[in-house]
Amino acid sequence: MSKLVSFFIILMLILSNQVNVYAAKKTTLGIKSEAAVLVDSETGAILYNKNGNERLYPASLTKIATAIYAIEHGNIDDVVTVSARAVKEEGTRVYLVEGERVPLKKLIQGMLINSGNDAAVAIAEHIDGSVEQFADNINKYLAEKIGVSDTHFTNPNGLFKENHYTTALDLALITNYAKKNPVFSEIFGTIELGWSGESWETKLLTHHRLLKGEIPVDGITGGKTGFVNESKHTLATTAENENVKLTAIVLKADSSKVSYNDTVKLIEYGFSSFKHRIIKQNERFTVHKKEYYPKNDILITEHVNTSEENITEHGILEIVNNGQVSQSIKLEVKEPKQIKVKKEKLLSSEQSSINIFYGIIVFALAGLLIGVRKRLMKKQ
């Protein structure tokens, strides 16, 4: 009877462990948006990914790319003359007037803080002469300078076009890159700004509810909202605490509430679950009898309960969080030391062999001569 009881206890323990393992692998944040990613702003580690490579419409998150492109390709103190085309742009505006002269930085502020579509067109025309040329140039810039792989923009503001698309992962990459620029970072984190134009005197207030504190979450450092019917609600948010800096992107949320709820889940997950660690330059990793090392000290993002580290056969260090590779780092291979034989020693060794060979011949000849001499002496 006792054996039967023991058997059932063991069986229950095994089943219990199997259920726990399955639950751990299937952890989810309950994100409702079509696509969402959470990325470490400093290391680029992907901490959460739902459909991050799916092509979707970004709406006004496009303006993040327009802003950093304009900052890098223009002079923020330039004075821009507003065109008729810019004034007629539909959607959210800062109510520019044709012929109005506005500093480039002020236009970027109006575009990011108040999502001014007219300001975006004025910026594009100033930098590249036309919206069409701007589109060609910014696509090359995003691919070559920032490294996006699945983004194509046709305008500077995100108004719907069939061929105007990006992905959540590309937008996170663009935002991370842009945040490293102090001018962009300052504007991206601005909550309110006085605006004085020819037709509009007001105080611009960010549309991002987390940034202006309507939804209380600590550590928010910047944000941009977006909406057109085809894209639904989109949201970009940056945040930081003492452990990590985060970039959260959500695309195609059915409502504004869903986009904010998803963003809060992502940020709270990032703050509670991850921290930084430095892999030192002198650390060594061995795989298949080859030794690898980082070229410099490397900052990595790991789970607070530790992450896995794998080395591929090609010397790629993979940081694995929750069963997914979040960061890949190319290591240097340590070449084995080759034993060098000095040329002088090699020559002296060869010379010794030759000397011995000739010595034997000389010795043999001497012996032969002595033998011949003895025979001659005997005959005498």
pLDDT tens digits, 87-131? 999 999 999 999 999 999 999 999 999 999 999 999 999 999 999
Residue 287 buriedness (CB in 10 A; 0-12 / 13-18 / 19+): middle
Confidence grade of residue 374 (pLDDT, cut at 50, 70, 90): low
- Hey, which residues are catalytic here? 60, 63, 115
* pLDDT beyond 60 at 380: no
CA–CA distance, 347 with 88 (Å, rounded to integer): 87
Express each pLDDT in 206-237 by its tens digit: 999 999 999 999 999 999 999 999 999 999 99
Confidence grade of residue 273 (pLDDT, cut at 50, 70, 90): very high
> What does each C-alpha distance from 331 to 97, 297, 327 come to in angstroms?
55, 11, 13
Q: What is the 3-state secondary structure (H, E, C) of 94-139?
A: CCCCCCCEEEHHHHHHHHHHCCCHHHHHHHHHHHHCCHHHHHHHHH
**Whether 285 contacts 295, CB under 8 Å:** no
Report pLDDT for 355: 57
Amino acid, res. 3: K
Express each pLDDT in 294-316 by its tens digit: 888 889 899 988 778 778 877 78
Express each pLDDT in 239-259 by its tens digit: 999 999 999 999 999 999 999
Query: Token digits for 201?
Result: 């005197």
CA–CA distance, 374 with 294 (Å, rounded to integer): 79
Report pLDDT for 347: 43
Express each pLDDT in 340-365 by its tens digit: 544 444 444 445 555 555 556 656 66
Average model confidence (pLDDT) across the chain = 85
Partner residues linked to 327 by β-bridges: 319
Query: Token digits for 60?
Result: 């006004």
Q: Which of 339 and 292 is assigned the larger pLDDT?
A: 292
Give the rounded percent of residues in the chain with a pLDDT score beyond 90.
66
**Whether 155 contacts 57, CB under 8 Å:** no
Express each pLDDT in 118-172 by its tens digit: 999 999 999 999 999 999 999 999 999 999 999 999 999 999 999 999 999 999 9
User: What are the contacts of 303-306 at 24+ separation with CB within 8 A?
Assistant: 303/273, 303/274, 304/272, 304/273, 304/274, 304/275
Report pLDDT for 155: 98
Amino acid, res. 45: A
Partner residues linked to 40 by β-bridges: 246
Tell me the domains of the chain and their CATH numbers: 35-274 (3.40.710.10), 280-334 (no CATH)
Report pLDDT for 161: 97
Report pLDDT for 136: 98
Report pLDDT for 126: 98
CA–CA distance, 221 with 185 (Å, rounded to integer): 8
Question: Which one-letter DSSP state was computed for residue 312?
Answer: -
Cα-trace Rg, the chain? 35
Report pLDDT for 13: 37
Residue tagged 């992502």 (tokens): 266
Lowest mean pLDDT among 2-16, 177-191, 192-206: 2-16
CB-based contacts of 92, cutoff 8 Å, min separation 6: 60, 114, 115, 116, 117
- Cα angle 365, 366, 370 (rounded to 5 degrees) comes to 115
pTM: 0.79
CA–CA distance, 261 with 349 (Å, rounded to integer): 80
Handedness of CA 115, 118, 119, 120 (dihedral sign): positive
* pLDDT beyond 50 at 276: yes
* pLDDT beyond 80 at 371: no
Amino acid, res. 292: Y
* pLDDT beyond 50 at 5: no
